[in-house]
Each structure stands twice: as structure tokens, then as C-alpha cells.
Amino acid sequence: MKKQRKFCIYCGGQITKKKEDHVLRDCCSNCHCFFYDNPLPVVSAIVDDSRQILLVKRDRPPFKGLWCLPTGFAEAGENIEEAALRELQEETGIKGRISRLLDVDSYKSRFYGDLLFLTFVVEKTGGRLAAGDDSAQARFFTINEIPPLAFRSNRRALTAYVKSKKDYWAILDAIAHRNDDKTLPALKAANSMTRRLINVIIKNKEKMINQWIEEMHTNPSTAEYRNSEIRALYNTCDKIISQITLWLGNAYDVDHIKNFYTKLGLERKKAGVRISGVLSALSLIRKHIWDVALAQGALQKNLDLYMTFELQRRMTIFFDLATFYISRGYE
């Protein structure tokens, strides 16, 4: 249980409660100094090894005996990302590098007071798996085998992570299903290239969406979208890019395209947007996908000409179908 202040650390006066900025705070009755109970920063790491998540079994209170993500307090003067990597190595023996900040959550602990949980996605770079001094055990669990987790913030972050990877894993499963020993060598190579492109699209989706929105507000062919809400544009582009990755991985069929884009065309027609503007917006999404793919080198690794044409063909089919069904929505 977190201890309550009784005496002032500056003058020894008795601590009372007093409001400041509409917040009830500890205050010295003698020198009138206020004390601020700021949340303590806690870092957690999600290490994903082929859909297996690294967890540690706690060897001390609170929640001794329960599993959690590698988690601990940041030290004074320590960079928050460095703290996450340090805790990961101390508790599991695994070294890594930060991929991204996944989640921020606040939590009130009986033991420590207000906590601020920052959960990072970490890419494994080395080390040897071994439980640290404050961990009874460290091991990887498949997504379907995750045991009950000690901390609510861990549960929240892991749920968000699995949700963010759901489409990507579906794509990989679809490709893997096709890529068995009987698959033609040329098709296997094409699948490998498709996987590279999908990886590039997913990793750079935020960048592509922002570039697309910026051009939507400057390109004369999409002038009708200049007064559109940024969030609405973002959500639409996000959906379309996700559909493209699913299509490339054979996890999205023509019926899905028909239903979505016929409805999109109908909605845009009712909103008074000309069909030329809608089709221009769609073509700009395609442009930004290829621009990013080329810039990232996804299509420049000893590719056979056939593979490039095959990938272009599949992208063309998607956008041709989308264009067709948008037009149907305008009829």
C-alpha cells in the first residue's frame, strides 16, 4: 500500500489537504508548500516471434505467480524507450529495438499510486531467453495460448496489438496456403515479392495516407474534397489500403469489392461529389502505394520481369473492379 505523507520534507510541518487549481493536493500547514503526486512511468514490451508473444511469470508482489508482458518502472533520468529495452533484457535475457509505441494507459495501483503504462512493440535482435532475478519464468506463448495477464494495461495493449495484426496475419496465411511444395517456382517467387510489398504497405500505411490527404487538398482533380473532414478521408483511405493488402494476399474477393465500392459510389453520388473526383481520389491512392513501394525498394530485389507484371496485373484488376463498381453506384 502506498504510504501517505504526514510531514513536510522541507520544514517538518504537518501535511493537510488543500485545493490548488481545483485539485485536492497535499499541502504543508506551516510553509504552505504543495506536493504533486505525478504518475509513475511504467514500460512494457511486446515481442512477437512468429505470432508467439513473450511473457514473464512474476516472482514478487503484486500478482505474484501471474504472467505479464516484460514490465517495469523507468529509472530517474532514463530515456523511456531505453527503459523498455532494459526491462526486457533484465527480465527475459532478450535484446531488442523499439518498433513503435503501441499504447498509453493510466492505472491506479494500491501499491504504487497513479501509474502511466507505455507499451512498445519491440523487435527481437539477440540475446538468450532466460528468466531474470524478479521473474520465475520467461517463455513465448502462441496467440491462442495467452494465459490471464496480471495487469489490465497489458491486456489492453495486447488486445490492440492482435487487432492491428489481424489483417496482416490473414494475408500471410492466404499466401502460405498457396505456397506449398507443388507451387511453381515462378509463383513462389511472385508470392515472396507480394509478401515484401504487403510488408512495405503495412509499415508505411500512415505515411501513404497522410501524403494522399495532402494531395487531395492540392490536386485540381479532387478539388471537391478540400472541405472534407480529415478524419473521414483518413478512415476511407485506411479501409481501401487494407483491402488492397488483403486482395494481394488472396484474402479479399470480388464480392467484397462489389459491395463496398457500389455503396461508396452511391454515397458519393448522394453527397453531390462528381464521379470524376471519386475516381481521381482512388487513382491517387494507387499512385502513393507504388511511390512508397519503389522508394522502399520492395520491387527492386532481382525481380524477374514476369513477377513485376504479375503484381501489376493484380493491382490493376483491383482498381479496375473498384472503378467499375463505383460507377455502378452512380447509375
Query: What CATH number should be reported for the domain holding residue 4?
Result: 2.20.70
Q: For residue 263, which of 239, 286, 244 has the smallest C-alpha distance? A: 239
Q: What are phi and psi of 138, to 5 degrees?
A: -135, 130
Check whether residue 206 and residue 241 sit in a common domain: yes
Whether residue 199 is found in the same domain as residue 300: yes
Residue 301 predicted with pLDDT over 80: no
CA separation, residue 1 to residues 61, 88, 115, 188, 274 (Å): 11, 26, 14, 59, 64
- Number of domains comprising the chain: 3
Mean pLDDT of the chain: 85
pLDDT 10s digits, 77-90:
899 999 999 999 99
User: Residue 57 — very low, low, confident or very high, per pLDDT cuts 50/70/90?
Assistant: very high
How confident is the model over 251-258, as a mean pLDDT? 82
- Same domain? 193 vs 311: yes
b (16+ CB within 10 A) / e for 106-141? ebeeeeeeebbbbbbbbebeeeeeebbeebeebebe
pLDDT of residue 207: 87
Q: Which three cell numbers stand for residue 297?
A: 525498394
User: Do 20 and 74 have their domain in common?
Assistant: no
CA 189: distance to chain centroid? 28
Nearest to 40, CA basis, from 143, 98, 89, 111:
111
pLDDT of residue 300: 53
Q: Which pTM value belongs to this model?
A: 0.55
Specify whether the CB–CB gap between 97 and 122 falls below 8 A.
Answer: yes
Residue 41 vs residues 76, 78, 122, 208: alpha-carbon distances, Å:
10, 11, 18, 32
Q: What is the DSSP letter of 163?
A: H
Residues 60 and 137 in one domain: yes
CATH number at residue 153: 3.90.79.10
Domain boundary among 137, 162, 187: 162
Is 174 contained in some domain?
no
d(CA 155, CA 162): 11
Q: What is the CATH number of the domain that holds 277?
A: 1.10.490.70
Alpha-carbon separation of residue 324 from 19, 237, 264, 269, 320 (angstroms): 64, 18, 12, 15, 6
Which of 145-154, 248-257, 282-291 is predicted with the least confidence, judged by mean pLDDT? 248-257
Does one domain contain both 129 and 272?
Answer: no
71 domain-assigned: yes
Residue 314 belongs to a domain: yes
Same domain, 23 and 49: no
Tell me whether residue 321 is in a domain.
yes
pLDDT interval class at 181 (50, 70, 90): very low
Residues 113 and 20 both lie in one domain: no
Last residue of a domain, which of 162, 188, 205?
Answer: 162
Question: Is a pLDDT exceeding 80 seen at residue 305?
Answer: no
Please indicate, yes or no, whether residues 110 and 194 belong to a single structural domain of this protein: no
49 and 108 both lie in a single domain: yes
Let me know whether 98 and 207 are in one domain. no
Nearest to 270 by CA among 191, 199, 330, 189: 330
Establish if 173 belongs to a structural domain.
no
Domain span at residue 51? 40-162
- Judge whether 171 lies within some domain: no
Same domain, 186 and 150: no
Q: At what angle do helices 254-270 and 230-248 cross, to 10 degrees?
A: 160
